[in-house]
Structure 1
């Protein structure tokens, strides 16, 4: 419940503090006095998107503070908890607008965003104003309004999930079909390439190994004859034979040399051992350099084949094995594609069936809620002097989507037998106000702690009809709090609390102020609303009669 509103330097308001009460609060005043400015200021502190030029001319910044009662269980408490803001029994909203357009907001003295303010406002205030064509008169919002009335949030959640799942299934099937078509277009190439790669069977690192082997064989061909010649010079016909002969001659002479040949003979024996090791190593080298000339040719052929295939497919030689696996995977996908496609199509049909069931349940719930809403609105129209009018919620098939498969629109017929049509086109100004009031009353039933604001809901009506509108507002206010901006004396007379909005010019500056009215002042104000600038005794008498009920 809105308890107060403090406005500083906003539009034509210098400083204004208002305290509101439960019941029906009415604001009256001449046209242009600034009644709508109060709603602009309230909308500003609640985070609503409105006019940009709010700061009073000559002021550095404008500020609005609003405070609300927040009893236990109020839905605003959940918003505060989710936003990590302090939760108290009193909710204080404050918002500042600087002259250069910057806006800053606080909730219970903690900084917050405009999004948080707007989320709070949905739990605090319900507005019906002169621009309700963006709300109840906009057919695009009627489906959401009906769903809110019906409490269809769980069903809507199922439909949205089913729609997302259906979209994912359709996308998967389409993607698989596109991929399979692309593979089919290159099937001949794939099969030829895989066969060619499988036949060659290149291994990782093989190209480098073949290149090394080839270079070794090419080099061995040039040096092997020199190594063989060296081996022969060390062998039986060379150094080995001569060293053996020398040792034999020395051995025969050693007995007569008195030990003089012992050391040379030992050295010669060691040299023969070293020579044997050298000959063994050279022999191994000769063996390693021995190869079949065809082997060099085969090595070169395979090396060139691997390099040629790598160039053909524009990959590194070491990547040929992995590339073959990739191509083979595409062929496997193609071969298995038909079964996979069938499975994906089945998944699409299953998702379609799930969506159809969820959307059908939502449609049924909407139809039941529509009948209930139509009946409730009709009951509200009778005390508003429109007992012959017909309100109907039409539900027509629509292209399926995340919100279901229904188009919802509120239609009216002002007289039995008259053609029904859109709410905003069929009803006249006075009728439209009453239709909207009846609809608003039905839609807000059961919403606790909500302040209802009506901006000139009685426009276009007068006399007994205006009195009927005022009495319905008064009855509605008995269950909570209603604020009404009105030009109707009948409505104003039924208010439990009455303020007059006045505009004055001082030193070339126009300002607006709001004055709470005492009982005698209320008589004068209602009389002014009845008779205009000249308040007569008859007007005062009529005003007293209205206020007496």
Structure 2
């Protein structure tokens, strides 16, 4: 549940520190005093979009901090573990918005994205806004409510994914039929290109060897001449290097026997003589092996020319031919499969079967939940001055299917027994819509796992005995979870376990919102104000006290 809410410089709030209790709490006060602002702040800290206008005038930033107990929900704990967030002592959500509309967020001191705020917020609180009733007139909102109430959101997403896969397969089949001639031409071109590259038999390893061998043969004469010159210098001529090094090594060795400091020099000369002799043998072997072969050089020239011609034709470097060959072969294989009507038809049939199976499961799961909700809302209508009225959740078949399953969801209502069931959007008046919508929200909230339920003036359009019944409904809901309700109805507020009064005050020429936790006498005064308007009489106060005394302890 929500434990604490701290607000700084948000709209007309300069500073508020609010500690929340369990049960049903009513937030009351004059219109414009800032009741809904508290819920807007709570929505912001749970991931709603931020705008620069939420920052109080002349201030640089707004800050909202909300502290929640962690509900006993294994999926939430798994999510927290996945995000590496330690929540043993609760969850602290913080959001800062600057005057330019930029915002930052944290969860238990760890920087968080708005997506993370929204994800964790779904497990902590459910806010029903002022226009929630009107949203129920939309078909998509009706479907989403049923799926959420039944816990079918994951299955519904799977159905939507399967539907898209099926439609993609159908489109591929239709496209292949429409472009059959063009596809055939493209296949023929790709086939010729792949065949040419197959016949070329090119590889990067061969290309490296070709260039190395070509360079060797092209310069064979020069290489032989150079090797011969090196051999002459090492073993022939007036001062052959190998013989000279050997003589110097012997001479210095004799000197080293007299002075040991020359031992290191002698070892170096001896090593040099040995290495020069090894170089001489290597050069002889190389000169004997190398050969000037014009015929082989001609063959290499022809091979290099063939590779270069094909590379030029495809506008790539020779080194890129291997990758090009693989890409073209893959394109040809894909195109061949994509143009195969039998394979495409089989893929369509497979995708449709997968969709139908999931959609059937979704329909079967929706049916009993729809019937149950219809019965429960119908029963609630009897207590909300709609005696004899009926509510039904109808699953209207869509044989062709859709991304939302094999049916569309339609809320139908009959306000009195003489009327047939008709779509909610066509028959419900404003007051009837408020009562039906509130009944739906309260009933579906009982099945929700969210520990905190927030209702923002959802009781608009009702009054009198019905208002008291609504208050009792919220009071019963408060026995199961924390319920917060912004209300203008004294009958609803009187049913609350605790009550806050929100009012505007002038402070140093600035209008600010203030919140006061009401004791028993304060609640009498506030409910009397809600009953009596401008002038509060003793009769009004007695009436208010009587309303509070009628509530169970």
Superposed pair shares fold, TM > 0.5 = yes
Mark the CA change 1:52 to 1:369 in structure 2 (over 3 Å): closer, same or farther.
Answer: farther
Q: Which residue of 1 aligns with 2:281?
A: none
Determine the C-alpha separation between the residues in 2 that align with 1:32 and 1:335: 65
1:472 corresponds to: 473
**2:263 aligned residue:** none
Partner of 1:91: 91
SS in 1 for 2:491: helix
Provide the residue aligned with 1:539 in structure 2: 540
Query: Which secondary structure state, in structure 2, belongs to the residue aligned with residue 416 of structure 1?
Result: coil
Task: Provide closer, same or farther for how the CA distance between residues 173 and 21 of structure 1 changes in structure 2, counting only shifts above 3 A.
Answer: same
For the pair 1:492 / 2:493, whether they are aligned, the reply is: yes
| 1:351–1:540 Cα change, 3 Å | same
Within the alignment, does 1:414 sit opposite 2:390 as a pair? no
Aligned equivalents of 1:499, 1:190: Cα separation in 2: 76
> Unaligned stretches of 5+ in structure 1?
213-287, 290-298
Larger radius of gyration: 1
Alpha-carbon contact 1:11-1:57 (below 8 Å) kept: yes
Give runs of aligned pairs for residues 36-435 of structure 1, distance below 5 A. Answer: 36-49=36-49, 52-73=52-73, 75-132=75-132, 135-153=135-153, 155-156=155-156, 158-167=158-167, 169-170=169-170, 173=173, 181-182=181-182, 184-185=184-185, 340-398=340-398, 400-424=401-425, 426-435=427-436
CA shift at 1:530, angstroms? 0.9
Cα offset, 1:315, TM superposition: 8.8
Report the CA distance shift for 1:203/1:429 in structure 2 as closer, same or farther (over 3 A): closer
- Mapped pair 1:17 → 2:17: yes
Q: CA deviation at 1:150?
A: 1.9
How far the C-alpha of 1:470 sits from its partner, in A, is: 0.7
CA positional deviation for 1:169: 4.0
1:22-51 CA-partner distances (Å, limit 9, x unpaired)? 111011111111111111111121222365
2:243 is matched with none
Moved more, 103-112 or 472-481: 103-112
Q: CA deviation at 1:67?
A: 1.1
Question: Offset of 1:546 from its aligned partner?
Answer: 0.6
* Structural RMSD (CA): 4.4
Name the SS of the counterpart of 2:458 in structure 1. Answer: coil
C-alpha distance in structure 2 between counterparts of 1:111 and 1:189, whole Å: 55
Looking at structure 1, the residues matched to 334 and 535 of structure 2 have their Cα atoms a distance apart, in angstroms, of 92
CA distance in structure 1 between the partners assigned to 2:342 and 2:123 by the alignment? 50
Q: Is the CA contact 1:71–1:89 (under 8 Å) kept in the aligned structure 2?
A: no
Q: Counterpart of 1:371 in 2: which secondary structure?
A: helix
Contact 2:5 2:67 in 1 (8 A): yes
- 1:9, 1:55 within 8 Å by CA — same for their partners in 2? yes
Q: Which residue of 2 aligns with 1:292?
A: none
Distance 1:153 1:548, change over 3 A: same
Contact 1:489 1:530 in 2 (8 A): yes
Distance 1:150 1:40 in 2: 28
Alpha-carbon contact 1:29-1:500 (below 8 Å) kept: yes
Query: What secondary structure does 1:86 align onto?
Result: coil
Give the superposition deviation at 1:12: 1.1
* Residue range with higher mean Cα deviation, 101-110 or 168-177: 168-177
Contact in 2 for aligned 1:74/1:448 (Cα 8 Å)? no
The whole-number CA distance in structure 2 between the counterparts of 1:98 and 1:312 is 59
CA distance in 2, matches of 1:190, 1:51: 55
Structure 2 unpaired stretches of 5+? 215-292
Q: Would the alpha carbon gap of residues 85 and 524 (structure 1) be closer, same or farther in structure 2, given more than 3 Å must change?
A: same
Residue of structure 2 in register with 1:248 after alignment: none
Rounded Cα–Cα distance in structure 1 between residues aligned with 2:406 and 2:362: 9
Shift of 1:158: 4.5
1:452 aligns with 2:453: yes
**CA 1:409–1:315 in 2, change beyond 3 Å: closer, same or farther?**
same
TM-score after normalising by structure 1 = 0.71
Change (3 A) 1:423 1:48: farther
Judged with a 3 Å threshold, the aligned counterparts in structure 2 of structure 1 residues 186 and 442 are, in CA distance, closer, same or farther, namely closer
Answer whether contact 2:9 2:15 (CA < 8 A) is retained.
Answer: yes
- What whole-Å deviation, never above 9, does each CA across 1:148-183 have from its counterpart, x for those lacking one? 222224543553453354356446645765775335
CA distance in 2, matches of 1:381, 1:65: 39
